[in-house]
Chains A and B, each alone.
Chain A
Amino acid sequence: MKLLDKIKNIIIPKDTLGVVWLYTLGSVFWLAVAGIAAMNLRTYLTYPANSPSVGELYYSALTIHGWSGIFGFVQFAPAAIIAFAMYKSKLSVIHTKLMALYFWLGSIFLAIALAGSPDMGWYMYPPLAIESNSQFHAFLFYTTPALMGMAYLFLTLTFILQTASYITLIVDTYATKPPNEKLNIFAAYGVAFAIVIAITLPALAASTLWYTLHFFAGVPVNPLLWALLFWFYGHPVVYYVPFPLFGALYYYIPQFAGRPLYSEKWARWNIYLLSIGSMLIWVHHLQTWPLPIGLRIWVNLSTLILASGSGLTVLNLGLTILTSQKYNWKDPVGMGALIALVGFILAGVQALVLPENSINPIFHNTYYVVGHFHLMIWTLIVMGFVTVFLDMLKTTFAGFNFSEHASKWMRIGMIWWTAPFLGVGYTMSVAGYLGLLRRMIAYPTFFQPFNFIESFLAEIGIPGLLITLSIGIFDTLAYASKQTVFSQPPSPSSLTLIKAEEEVKKNG
């Protein structure tokens, strides 16, 4: 297969790996948009007294950061990971054209909504998100009711298409699953959380549809009910990437530890805890809102159940590494998986206090929370995704492995990225504990050094990620350029055939 054919197969994929790459590159694009907007924010935040006139630009960048991060990267990346997990489990994406349609239309519609320059914040609380008067415009460019309604309509369509992509992955998994055969752990996590996404993402579509109906049919919006509906999606969305990545860690870490997973049973039972638990705890985002105390008690229990599942993941993977002879961290995929796990522990520790009713108000709406979830993004999500990305490169070009020199620089790049961002995350959390509020463009001067440190460390860390990705890609392309015709990676059916042949040879 020629390189040009491979590129065509990404734009309009014809096979599972094509779908994997389309969604991967799309996710990376949205991640880059989120990152560029974030650096814009970090620049403004080094000054403690930005005037309200700066607000229009700042909050536009903030919303673009949030939307492209959450509605773009976080909602496309799991499809890439899940499709890759399916490939690794000898399953196929059959509806490749549909998947391409969902991706391209979903991205274009999201871009149309973003073109209005939304500045109401990523979680779009009403009535602010439907306001356009002398005090505030929820979109800088879409100021008439018709344009605002159109933006929310396009967002709704994006979320419906994204939901459809996960339903397609679930259907294709069951259509191509060999009867009487267990899915491998990577695919099991992928499909389980495709189901979670397919259940919770419609709540977001319903939230923006509510706004659409407000503008086109005059339907009133109840702020409290809207917030409850939104967070039914808004909490599980934080697991959209991490949980399929848990499957990836269960798959890769034993390989690099040179031993089976410490407990396959724990990993499989955990799917139920994590998937059901993740959908029952959303009200813990509203602990300072006027809601009945019974709800608070309930989310305390459900959050603890989910936390126990997360703890069990750490225990299982940690014991796999600790009881191995030697963990192969020199392989960049092994190193990435290790960093993702350690990062999950370090970012998870910050979260332990947050769901507790009696502690949450100390941290709610402060940078403590921002530090926690961003650290989770920079380590588990970004490094975990990079881990899968590097394995995608190896898998796509059969017979390819990273050179020793490239591996060394990729390892350096990963640490170069992770270490400064650990500093950013923990500095944010300390500032939040001391009272720095999130989303503010003016703050007490006491916090200026904290913001300087965060912006400075972020600038230092970014090249690390770029080095890791670019070296990985160049090393792969250098290999690819030496091949006149690429050997196709074995397809799931040929893999089964090879396995069968091996069995025959082994057993005579």
Chain B
Amino acid sequence: MDIKEHAEEIWFIIMLLLVATFFTWNVYYILTGKSFSLRYGLPCFSGLPPEAQEAVKYFESHPPPAGQYSEVVNGILVVNLTAVQYKWVPNVIIVNKSEPVVLIINSPQVVTGFYLRLPNGIINVNNVPGIPSYVYFVTPNQPGNYTWRDAEYAGYASSYMTGTLEVVQ
């Protein structure tokens, strides 16, 4: 076989094989549980670590009294956060440094987004009416205030839909 004559076919097949290899590597990492990365940004309950899932189940079966939005369950702060036009309820969350946190975000009116930049990464999820979003993260190891925003257009005052994560000692 003359390779030059078939160079176009060969490269076309190699190109597709490269894609298949990269994809297989991705799937392997998911199936063997070696990577969390493919769940990053996916606001599903199934994406939470097992201990966070347990904390959420407990929180939902033992809801806190009216007017209280959070509770510490087995060392994890579970927060029930709601996005409405045009505010977050609650709009301030006070946390300890290096504390594991789970947010249960409900957006009953319109599609919204939750965007929070922390020194160790970005949290960016969409919240769809009728489907709770779940977010797990560990707070920074230094005190400070961090602003979260609505990243999805939800009406005229979307830009002003902000909240503060206050990290204390």
**Among B18, B153, B160, contact of A121 (Cβ-Cβ < 8 Å):** B153
Return the chain B residue nearest A364 by Cβ.
Answer: B124
A442 touches B159 (CB 8 A): yes
Where chain B touches its partner, the secondary structure class is: mixed
Segment 105-153 of B: residues with Cβ below 8 Å from A:
109-111, 113, 115, 117, 122-126, 128-131, 133, 149, 151-153
Return the chain A residue nearest B45 by Cβ.
Answer: A290
Bound CA–CA A121/B156 (angstroms): 11
B128 touches A364 (CB 8 A): no
Residue in A52, A311, A443 whose Cβ sees the most chain B Cβ within 10 Å: A52
B124 touches A55 (CB 8 A): no
Segment 52-108 of A: residues with Cβ below 8 Å from B:
52-53, 55-56, 59
A287 touches B42 (CB 8 A): yes
A128 touches B153 (CB 8 A): yes
B152 to chain A, nearest CB (A): 6
Bound CA–CA A435/B37 (angstroms): 20
B24 to chain A, nearest CB (A): 9
B154 touches A128 (CB 8 A): yes
Bound CA–CA A131/B111 (angstroms): 12
B41 at the interface (CB under 8 A from A): yes
B58 at the interface (CB under 8 A from A): no
A52 touches B26 (CB 8 A): no
A321 to chain B, nearest CB (A): 18
Residues from chain A with Cβ under 8 Å of B37 in the complex: 357-358
Bound CA–CA A361/B126 (angstroms): 10
Return the chain A residue nearest B127 by Cβ.
Answer: A290
Residues from chain B with Cβ under 8 Å of A439 in the complex: 153, 158
**How large, as a class, is the contact surface on chain A?**
35 or more
Bound CA–CA A55/B41 (angstroms): 29
Bound CA–CA A220/B76 (angstroms): 38
A136 at the interface (CB under 8 A from B): yes
B85 at the interface (CB under 8 A from A): yes
B31 to chain A, nearest CB (A): 10
B38 touches A136 (CB 8 A): no
B117 touches A435 (CB 8 A): yes
Residues from chain B with Cβ under 8 Å of A266 in the complex: 8, 11-12
Bound CA–CA A286/B126 (angstroms): 9
A368 to chain B, nearest CB (A): 11
A127 touches B43 (CB 8 A): no
B111 touches A293 (CB 8 A): no
B159 touches A443 (CB 8 A): yes
Bound CA–CA A224/B107 (angstroms): 13
- Per CB-CB distance, the 8 closest pairs between chain A and chain B, nearest first, are A361-B41, A55-B156, A358-B37, A52-B157, A442-B159, A136-B155, A365-B151, A440-B159
